[in-house]
Amino acid sequence: MKYLKIFVIFTIFSLFFACSKSDEVVVKAGSSKLTKKELQEDIKSLPPQTKAFLASPEGVNRLKDELIKREVLYEEAKKKNLAKSEEFKRRMEEFKKITLINMLLEQEIKTLQQVTEQDAKEYYEKNKDMFIKPVEVRLSQIVVKNEDEAKKVYERIDKGEEFSKIAKELSRDEKTKASGGDIGFFKKGQLNPQIENVAFSLRKGQVSMPLTFKGELYIFKITDVKGNPIDFEQIKGQLIEQLKAKKQQDWFNTYIDDLKKKHKVEINEKALQEILNQSLIGGKSIQPQQNK
């Protein structure tokens, strides 16, 4: 049976129920109460468009309706003693764990220096060849038979091996493997549409995901680009967000590595494998990869 669908306004409110005696009650259903202070905190977390809706007469009526629903449902749940169930305790423990993790990350990431427009400008100036609207692209390719062969290619690329070296060793295309997979420059309209869409969406130095073409898998690399540079002002906002995301990801990876050293970590590989075998793959045995 599907859960009853409650309006979005209801679902995005935080579930805080404790109240102070000195705080004015806004909604009461049986012994359940929602105070003015709690409601103010709930509204603070709402997105701007929802706040604008609540400012209208229709929004006020909808809000009252949703608040009443919340309190009567909460009161009924208490009457049925659901708070004493093991399932409730399990969910609350999981909620507590996730909430504490989020609070920790929010607190720690505040110390991270913000990405400025100047940072983005400097990155742009140092990597101008990455911000070109291509007119022509130079491609290299590696042609393989199946996904297993493609996986071997990507594993070697990830390790830092030269694309041309891998092409000479593994590519099935005899015409281009000797030249390291190089197939030259192409303008729009000169390539198969499927390949062109990928080639002109990549930046210089980037490698494509495998494309199925004529019964084989093709992996392309953009080795050179001819075109016009994109003006910094056009991509400033997007670039700042990209640099911010990368900075946060780098910080997070370092932070996790430090915590692994700080806290003793133990994994029962046998128990984990048994659970996966039983729950996910129908009893078939799998062997976990060894950590390097």
Please give the pLDDT value at position 290: 53
pLDDT score at 241: 94
pLDDT at residue number 19: 40
Q: Is 218 exposed, middle or buried (0-12, 13-18, 19+ CB in 10 A)?
A: buried
CATH architecture classification, 139-229: Roll (3.10)
Predicted confidence (pLDDT) per residue in 45-71, tens digit: 888 888 888 888 888 888 888 888 888
* Span(s) in the chain for CATH 3.10.50.40: 139-229
Low-confidence ranges of the chain (pLDDT < 70): 1-22, 280-292
For residue 196, the model assigns a pLDDT of: 92
